Structure 1
């Protein structure tokens, strides 16, 4: 969970997304090693009178490589989405937000970024989930002008 205020930097999110990418890559490597062990075991235990076709082995390896690349692509996409959410979060600070049902409104003091999405915290302590149907507008400032007759 990352909380964004007007003074928060994005360094913590960058390190979080980097560690998530490293974890996904490590998981893909473990799966790749498991696949190679399985392939070797399959080759050792195959029927000598009906050996496995070399093209079938290459096909299995190519398919597994595609799965591995998809895992890495998903990891990079998750990192980009996380950074995009953080960027969007900082844009909400100081603006007036109204919930989708119109019952809750306030000026955004901070935004919390979690795996479930964004949650705005208003200056009066209310929490509004940022999603479909919310209204964002510039903060309302009331000024009174006096005129003398």
Structure 2
């Protein structure tokens, strides 16, 4: 008996990927504040940092934080979309983009790079542009 299955990455993996992207920026909010305080402590009292410059630095960091949060939300949305697509592929006929492989989809794997269909013959086909599903 063949059991149709959908293999997925967990939400934790999605969150981990987004967190890893945030860490790649090299700075988090606490680090930024620490650097800002140190910069203020170390500045020359006779020539203090311009308040406008401080505000510009805070605004820039705020934009980076918002971008990271937006990316996390987009990744979760894409993951959800991939899960919906994966479930609808099982049991349908699939033909590869180059028309060399075709068969019935038994399993779909959702990965960071997209969907991979596993046909009844065991052949794996990446679900990308040009793939025909009937």
User: What's the TM-score once normalised by structure 2's chain length?
Assistant: 0.83
What's the counterpart of residue 79 of structure 1? Answer: 76
Aligned length: 130
Q: Partners of 1:9 and 1:106 in 2: how far apart? A: 19
1:47 is aligned to 2:44:
yes
What's the counterpart of residue 96 of structure 2? Answer: 99
Unpaired segments ≥5 residues, structure 1: 138-149
| Cα shift readout 1:3-52 (whole Å, capped 9, x = no counterpart) | xx745597x6345435555x369848x61111111111111111222111
Q: Tell whether the 8 Å contact from 2:108 to 2:115 is kept in structure 1 after alignment.
A: yes
Q: Partners of 2:12 and 2:92 in 1: how far apart? A: 28
What's the counterpart of residue 111 of structure 1? Answer: 108
Q: Write out aligned runs for 1:2-17 (5 A).
A: 6=4, 13-17=10-14
User: What's the TM-score once normalised by structure 1's chain length?
Assistant: 0.76
Q: Partners of 2:21 and 2:129 in 1: how far apart? A: 33
